[in-house]
Chains A and B, each alone.
Chain A
């Protein structure tokens, strides 16, 4: 019996074809993973089911839910379906919740609105739902506001709302993408539980195969608005035929760095000694951290959000005033130096940030963005300047005519290449990569990781690689520092630390974000024993 049957659905917005003849089915209790890159049409498929497409959307085909075509009925009919029979979980829980209402009230509203419960009754029901979503009121009281919760807790509230009225189908649109690695596993288990225990169908949209491989019954790969491959999980992963699905699988498992690669020279480039950063209110964001990075070495700093790793990165860059300690870049104290010495130190350390959309000034041309650090090197003739810009763009694999264009003309991956070109132009010795691959989708992430490794090999560049993505840490760095609450809890060779962690927190981090191969191996072992 099928719960949802999408039959040759085509969708166009303003004359532009977004979905081409998509056919998918979901049975009660079944988990369908819908996988693809941004722009592949996977989110639009969810919107089409809910009939939430933007104005000017035209559809063909049918979406049958419990036998009735959702596309054929009047808008009024959809109102009784949305929220009641089909629940939805969004990517960004902060924007999905009302910031000025308590979480209890937001969950209770479902019962008041749809079932006509009284205020007290609805609140009691909300408490029960939140408890089932992993937020017992003894620990997370109902009168908390969304901003008082962590990202993972907020997403649990969103799931509680989506599941409140016992919907037959739950649509989850990248529900784990905006979350920390440690919070992801919890949300995945919670959603899988709704399908397993309460028999709801679940459509789980993601670009990250590892997050879906552990729970999906079936997986459909989408590209350019079409379903290019579909099959049962986990066996489908071993027999992918479509080149796009294969490339996505390959990109999901980043090849670990060789043990002798980026091992480092003898000259220390970054020396942080007893660094502490204290925020207003006495919060010690970084608490007595010392680390040394040798020339040509790649060092990963991992930890969940709030562990102080980004603050440490900023203080190494000289952007965050220190409460105690010193940071030397190629021998120069970057917090106390001035004049020429400071400029030389700044030219030696550059940075690439997380958000490729936020790190480029939208009003400047690429040539101006990339050339920004050049002023550190004193006066440069304009011919030399142009040559350097062209070289930096070539180094990151961008065409030279990109120089005259603006950031919005480039994709996310290309923008991150532009940010890397800017970091390269002053010929630094070390680049701080602050979550530089975390916001990219898997294919782009694999490409940027490959680029970073190639640049490091060719130029002997050192990296300070700040990330919560252990997979990326394995691929880029051969030494790792694990941070928690502003302190270093463990450090050592990446391969060794991530294979045999000693600290319980490191173990927790690794367990929360298993790589695709580990997940698949576990499922196959489970299938064999059954």
Chain B
């Protein structure tokens, strides 16, 4: 019990920190994150520039804050795409069964069969790089994850007596899916949502790193990491800051997901009650 509530608390704290950073960057950053002042380039961390400045004299802290907004927006919308498309698909497949189920799930397998990054590169190569295309690419990958999860949960619930009772009450498959199935699988979906969110942050960083994510001058953690490489010996803080930001976000979200899983799982909750 202690372990999981600690994981929840740390996860919440980290996630809140990153969300606060992203929110703050909407209204205020110490400096303009896109402002280039070449004379102030590669300055080490100081009171004026907490995380130093980069090779073009931009304030790293401001870029991290702006990058948080970009990362979170991309990952959140991508997770939303996955939930929004995957869950209905999974519920539909489970409710219909037979050939419909087969078609939906095999198409999912098809998406799964591609290495994620490769397909993302394919999409951005066709549609051009940019934050929106990164969202679409990552979002598509989230669809089968949620579809499988929703279908698995729903299949386990369909033979249950309360679902049979609802069928006897004359309710249709759609209505049963919404009224009985969805609320009973919501907790697993929420947990998976936080995990896909963290994977989305990682994927966005990966895409930006290879130059397929948010385009300059918009700040992005992945690109900061890529650009810092050349200067690593000169200015290690350039790599450290975005690296730490990514790690904090991913770790925080994963721990949040773990904590939520323990909190929401009625089996574990029951054991605790004893």
Chain A interface residues (CB < 8 Å from chain B):
13-14, 54, 314, 317, 319, 342-343, 346-347, 349-351, 353-355, 358-363, 369, 372-373, 375-376, 419, 422, 426, 432
Contacts and interface: CB of A to CB of B under 8 A. Distances in A.
B169 A375 contact: yes
Closest CB pairs A-B (n = 7): A359-B161, A373-B169, A346-B170, A353-B161, A358-B161, A372-B169, A361-B162
Most buried by A among B165, B166, B171: B165
B183 interface: yes
Contacts of B160: 358-359
Interface in B163-195: 164-171, 180, 183-184
A343 B183 CA distance: 26
B167 A319 contact: yes
25 contacts: A14-B274, A317-B168, A319-B168, A342-B170, A346-B169, A347-B170, A349-B168, A351-B168, A353-B165, A358-B162, A359-B161, A359-B164, A359-B165, A360-B165, A361-B162, A361-B166, A361-B184, A363-B183, A373-B169, A373-B170, A375-B169, A376-B169, A376-B170, A422-B165, A422-B169
Most buried by A among B164, B170, B183, B266: B170
B37 to A, nearest CB: 57
B170 to A, nearest CB: 4
Interface residues of B, number: 16
Contacts of B169: 346, 350, 372-373, 375-376, 422, 426
A124 to B, nearest CB: 41
A449 to B, nearest CB: 20
B162 A373 contact: no
Contacts of A342: 170
B170 A360 contact: no
A354 B164 CA distance: 11
A375 B171 contact: yes
Nearest to B271: A54
Contacts of B180: 361
B177 to A, nearest CB: 13
Contacts of B274: 13-14, 54
Contact of B164 (A14, A343, A353): A353
Contacts of A13: 274
Contacts of A354: 161
Contacts, number: 63
A14 B171 CA distance: 44
Contacts of B161: 353-355, 358-359
Contact of B168 (A14, A358, A373): A373
A359 B157 CA distance: 11
B81 to A, nearest CB: 27
Nearest to B184: A363
A424 B253 CA distance: 48
B159 to A, nearest CB: 9
A360 B180 CA distance: 10
B164 A351 contact: yes
Given A13-B274, A363-B183, 9 more contacts: A342-B170, A349-B168, A354-B161, A358-B162, A359-B161, A361-B180, A361-B184, A419-B165, A422-B169
B164 A372 contact: no
A428 B239 CA distance: 72
A325 B162 CA distance: 27
A372 B167 contact: no
Most buried by A among B164, B165, B167, B168: B168
Contacts of A359: 160-162, 164-165
Interface in B260-274: 266, 274
A14 B266 CA distance: 21
Contacts of B162: 358-361, 369
A14 B165 CA distance: 38
A359 B161 CA distance: 4
